[in-house]
Amino acid sequence: DMKVTQMPRYLIKRMGENVLLECGQDMSHETMYWYRQDPGLGLQLIYISYDVDSNSEGDIPKGYRVSRKKREHFSLILDSAKTNQTSVYFCASSLGTANERLFFGHGTKLSVL
Protein backbone atom coordinates (compact mmCIF):
# COMPACT_ATOMS: atom_id res chain seq x y z
CA ASP A 1 0.00 0.00 0.00
CA MET A 2 3.14 2.23 -0.09
CA LYS A 3 3.00 3.39 3.46
CA VAL A 4 5.41 4.41 6.20
CA THR A 5 3.86 4.07 9.64
CA GLN A 6 5.18 5.70 12.77
CA MET A 7 4.15 4.88 16.31
CA PRO A 8 3.23 6.59 18.49
CA ARG A 9 2.01 9.88 17.00
CA TYR A 10 2.37 11.77 20.29
CA LEU A 11 4.53 10.95 23.28
CA ILE A 12 5.28 12.69 26.56
CA LYS A 13 8.23 11.52 28.63
CA ARG A 14 10.14 12.74 31.66
CA MET A 15 13.80 13.62 31.48
CA GLY A 16 15.92 10.52 32.07
CA GLU A 17 13.33 8.06 30.78
CA ASN A 18 14.04 5.82 27.82
CA VAL A 19 12.16 6.43 24.60
CA LEU A 20 11.42 4.04 21.75
CA LEU A 21 10.07 5.35 18.45
CA GLU A 22 9.02 2.76 15.92
CA CYS A 23 8.75 2.95 12.17
CA GLY A 24 7.51 0.44 9.64
CA GLN A 25 7.25 0.38 5.87
CA ASP A 26 5.47 -2.00 3.53
CA MET A 27 7.48 -1.38 0.35
CA SER A 28 10.55 -3.55 1.07
CA HIS A 29 12.70 -0.44 0.78
CA GLU A 30 16.38 -0.96 1.53
CA THR A 31 17.12 2.47 2.91
CA MET A 32 15.45 4.04 5.91
CA TYR A 33 16.04 7.33 7.70
CA TRP A 34 15.30 9.11 10.95
CA TYR A 35 15.02 12.90 10.91
CA ARG A 36 14.03 15.42 13.51
CA GLN A 37 12.54 18.84 12.89
CA ASP A 38 12.56 21.80 15.24
CA PRO A 39 10.72 25.09 14.68
CA GLY A 40 12.40 27.24 12.03
CA LEU A 41 14.84 24.53 11.03
CA GLY A 42 14.90 22.02 8.23
CA LEU A 43 14.74 18.32 8.81
CA GLN A 44 17.99 17.18 10.37
CA LEU A 45 19.26 13.69 9.65
CA ILE A 46 19.89 11.53 12.72
CA TYR A 47 20.63 8.11 11.24
CA ILE A 48 20.48 6.25 7.93
CA SER A 49 20.02 2.52 7.59
CA TYR A 50 21.05 0.85 4.34
CA ASP A 51 19.57 -2.51 5.27
CA VAL A 52 19.32 -4.88 8.23
CA ASP A 53 22.11 -4.18 10.74
CA SER A 54 23.74 -1.67 8.35
CA ASN A 55 23.33 1.71 9.98
CA SER A 56 25.25 4.94 9.61
CA GLU A 57 25.29 8.17 11.58
CA GLY A 58 23.72 11.23 10.10
CA ASP A 59 24.40 14.83 11.07
CA ILE A 60 23.14 14.75 14.66
CA PRO A 61 23.47 11.20 16.05
CA LYS A 62 24.54 12.16 19.57
CA GLY A 63 22.06 10.95 22.17
CA TYR A 64 20.35 8.52 19.78
CA ARG A 65 20.78 4.96 18.65
CA VAL A 66 18.92 2.87 16.14
CA SER A 67 18.01 -0.72 15.52
CA ARG A 68 17.08 -2.45 12.29
CA LYS A 69 16.61 -6.19 12.65
CA LYS A 70 14.06 -6.54 9.85
CA ARG A 71 14.01 -4.65 6.58
CA GLU A 72 10.50 -3.38 7.29
CA HIS A 73 11.22 -1.92 10.73
CA PHE A 74 13.55 0.81 11.93
CA SER A 75 13.56 1.94 15.54
CA LEU A 76 14.98 5.08 17.12
CA ILE A 77 16.01 4.82 20.77
CA LEU A 78 16.72 7.62 23.18
CA ASP A 79 18.50 6.33 26.26
CA SER A 80 17.82 8.72 29.13
CA ALA A 81 15.96 11.39 27.20
CA LYS A 82 16.88 15.03 27.57
CA THR A 83 14.66 18.09 27.34
CA ASN A 84 16.51 19.28 24.21
CA GLN A 85 15.34 16.15 22.44
CA THR A 86 11.82 17.54 22.42
CA SER A 87 11.04 17.63 18.72
CA VAL A 88 9.04 16.12 15.89
CA TYR A 89 10.64 12.95 14.58
CA PHE A 90 10.12 11.72 11.04
CA CYS A 91 10.91 8.33 9.61
CA ALA A 92 11.37 7.85 5.87
CA SER A 93 12.27 5.11 3.44
CA SER A 94 13.54 4.91 -0.13
CA LEU A 95 14.10 2.12 -2.60
CA GLY A 96 17.74 2.97 -3.10
CA THR A 97 19.67 6.15 -2.57
CA ALA A 98 18.56 9.56 -1.40
CA ASN A 99 18.24 10.52 -5.06
CA GLU A 100 15.18 8.37 -5.19
CA ARG A 101 11.83 9.42 -3.85
CA LEU A 102 11.59 9.36 -0.07
CA PHE A 103 8.39 8.18 1.55
CA PHE A 104 7.72 9.74 4.94
CA GLY A 105 5.66 8.83 7.95
CA HIS A 106 3.34 11.31 9.66
CA GLY A 107 5.84 12.04 12.39
CA THR A 108 6.00 11.54 16.15
CA LYS A 109 5.76 14.60 18.35
CA LEU A 110 7.93 13.92 21.40
CA SER A 111 7.88 16.13 24.47
CA VAL A 112 10.52 15.54 27.14
CA LEU A 113 9.61 17.30 30.37
Residues contributing to the site for other proteins (CB under 8 A): 4, 31, 35, 40-43, 45, 48, 50, 58-59, 90, 92, 97-99, 101-107
Q: How far is the CB of 90 from other proteins (least distance, A)?
A: 7
CB of 48 to other proteins, least distance (A): 6
28, HSE (Cβ side, Cα atoms, 13 Å):
0
Q: How far is the CB of 113 from other proteins (least distance, A)?
A: 26
Tell me, letter by letter, the H, E, C secondary structure of 43-78: CEEEEEEEECCEEEECCCCCCCEEEEEECCEEEEEE
Closest to other proteins by CB, 44 or 86: 44
- CB atoms inside a 10 Å sphere around CB 52: 15
Which residue lies nearer to other proteins by CB, 50 or 111? 50
What is the rounded distance in angstroms from the CA atom of residue 32 to the CA atom of residue 40?
A: 24
Pick 92 or 110: Cβ nearer other proteins: 92
